[in-house]
Amino acid sequence: MTDRPVKLACRHVWKLYGPHPERLLSGAVPSLEQIRAAGLVGAVRDVSLEVRTGEIFVIMGLSGSGKSTLVRCLSRLIEPTAGEILFNGQDLLQTSAREMIEIRRHRMGMVFQHFALLPHLTVLQNVAFPLEIQGVDRAAREARAAEVIALVGLAGREGNFPRQLSGGQQQRVGIARSLAVEPELWFLDEPFSALDPLIRREMQDEFLRIQRQLQKTIIFITHDFDEAIRLADRIAIMKDGAVVQVATPEQLVLAPADAYVAAFTAHVPRAKVVTLASIAQPGDGPVAGNLPGSARIEAVADQIEAASLPFAVLDDEGRVIGQVTGRAVIDVLIGRGR
């Protein structure tokens, strides 16, 4: 992942609400206490991060931590108070309002918690609507809409109206609509949180299937750590408008930056996030087979425990980096050792 080019980066981004926030940012970096003492609200505080091409980058935190405000700053739906936002190296804060509209129309996709489907339009018409706004002719936009409707598993529902669909189906239409413009960068703000648990799980599976096909660059907001670890390549944890830590799910659990992150991840079963690469030990004896180092314990525990021999653990290039035994897997499952 680290060898992929950066698609979106932000540098020292702030969003302060209140009178004359720029005055507070003219000197040294203010603390949260100083921001509050000045009668301001620090919705986003000095955030710097990078999102790489093809990455699922999850932003999470408690309610009011600044997740949604940050994403709206990144897409300039909200104007940041200060900082830089670089999209393919172009500073979005230096672009005109007209240019930003064109960037959002053609190069960004957005899906929010509330589906916001147009009730008087069919599924096909809803999905084709962004292309109609772009001026794409009817035949071309409906052909593209039909493609993405099939991609999200709704082929045959093109003529239905939103009221004739379940919640999960409506969310699929929202996803298809955002994909119709073939965005380079895809923002999703808690898109599954309004769904029932079973439908939510199905939508996560569908989302991962689509991502395997399309390899989009995705910024995904959630407050659900289980959802985050299923979907994320990396996770940014926010608190009081600031990013506390950016890491893989495994790194967050095994090496939290502070007590806040530790509390956030305390109840996550390690087997869900710990990979074989983390527990592999040196060894050159006979093995039962090979397993990828990126595999999580939860997915391969039964296979390893059932074997009488250890498994060789391979890196992304297929090289052996060590062996893993059933005992090491059991240690993770019961929380013994690391």
Q: How confident is the model at residue 74, as a pLDDT? A: 95
- pLDDT, tens digit (0-9, with 9 covering 90-100), for 36-58: 999 999 999 999 999 999 999 99
CA nearest to 93, candidates 71, 111, 78: 78
- Non-local CB neighbours of 218 within 8 Å, separated by 6+ positions: 55, 56, 57, 185, 186, 187, 188, 211
Task: Output the domain CATH number for residue 322.
Answer: 3.10.580.10
Is 30 inside any structural domain? no
- pLDDT, tens digit (0-9, with 9 covering 90-100), for 261-309: 998 888 888 888 999 999 999 988 899 999 999 999 999 999 999 999 9
CA dihedral 301, 302, 305, 308 (to 10 degrees): -130
Q: What percent of the chain has pLDDT over 70?
A: 98
Q: Are residues 320 and 208 in the same domain?
A: no
Would you state the structure tokens that stand for residue 92, as one six-digit string? Answer: 């979005």
CA 166 to mean position of chain CA atoms: 24
Q: Are residues 186 and 127 in the same domain?
A: yes
Is 253 inside any structural domain? yes
Q: How confident is the model at residue 2, as a pLDDT? A: 67
Is 240 inside any structural domain? yes
- pLDDT, tens digit (0-9, with 9 covering 90-100), for 71-119: 999 999 999 999 999 999 999 999 999 999 999 988 998 887 776 889 9
Q: Are residues 210 and 67 in the same domain?
A: yes
Q: Are residues 249 and 282 in the same domain?
A: no
The one-letter code for the residue type at 32 is L
- Domain span at residue 165 reads 52-80+90-268
Is 17 inside any structural domain? no
Last-in-domain residue among 268, 288, 317:
268
Q: Are residues 282 and 251 in the same domain?
A: no
Task: Output the domain CATH number for residue 217.
Answer: 3.40.50.300
Q: Are residues 261 and 278 in the same domain?
A: no
Is 7 inside any structural domain? no
CA distance 17 to 213: 40
Helix, strand, coil tally for the chain in percent (to 5):
40, 25, 35
Q: How many structural domains does the chain have?
A: 2
Beta strands in 18-161 (DSSP E): 41-52, 56-61, 82-87, 90-91, 108-112
Is 33 inside any structural domain? no
Q: How far apart are the first and last CA of the chain?
A: 25
Average pLDDT, the chain: 91
